Amino acid sequence: MFGGDRGGGEDRYVELDRPQRSPSGEFTASLVAGPEQDGVATRVVVVTDTDGHEVFRDDYAYSTRHGVGVTWLSSADQLWILSADVGTAHVDRAADGTWTKTAISPETADTVPEEIERLR
């Protein structure tokens, strides 16, 4: 689906019908069907809490043509989005409880954790 060696940890990846719980167990990441774009299916990243309330919905719909990988960092409730089309980003929970997506740029590429870098 995207570049890199999965390193035997395939069960950690979020798939369309296979959400994944965060390391704390407090949140679940899912891929849901997004709007069709130019005849191509898309996927949207969603994070919910244990009560099923949506705490984050990505504002971008990822093309299935290009593929997208979604996984939690193994040591924290930080969600990583790896897109062959638009690049890499992470989604974090702020102290006030809001979740925000941060795109990785050339200037911040050295901040990508090694376990995530191996997947890109």
* Domain membership of residue 41 as a residue range: 12-117
Tokens coding 49: 């809490």
Residue 55: which residues within 8 A CB-CB, separation 6 or more? 27, 47, 48, 49, 93, 97, 99
Does residue 5 sit within a domain? Answer: no
Share of the chain above pLDDT 70, in %: 92
Tell me the average pLDDT across 57-85: 95
What global pTM score does this model have?
A: 0.89
Asked whether residue 45 is domain-assigned, the answer is yes
Residue 2 within any structural domain of the chain: no
Q: Decide if pLDDT at 76 tops 50.
A: yes
What pLDDT is stored for residue 10 in this prediction?
57
pLDDT value for 35 = 95
Q: How many domains does the chain have?
A: 1
In a domain, 1, yes or no: no
Distance CA 19, CA 6 (A): 17
Strands, DSSP E only, in the chain?
20-21, 27-33, 42-49, 54-57, 62-63, 68-72, 79-83, 87-93, 99-103
In this prediction, residue 7 has a pLDDT band, given cuts at 50, 70 and 90, of: very low
Q: Indicate whether 106 belongs to any domain.
A: yes
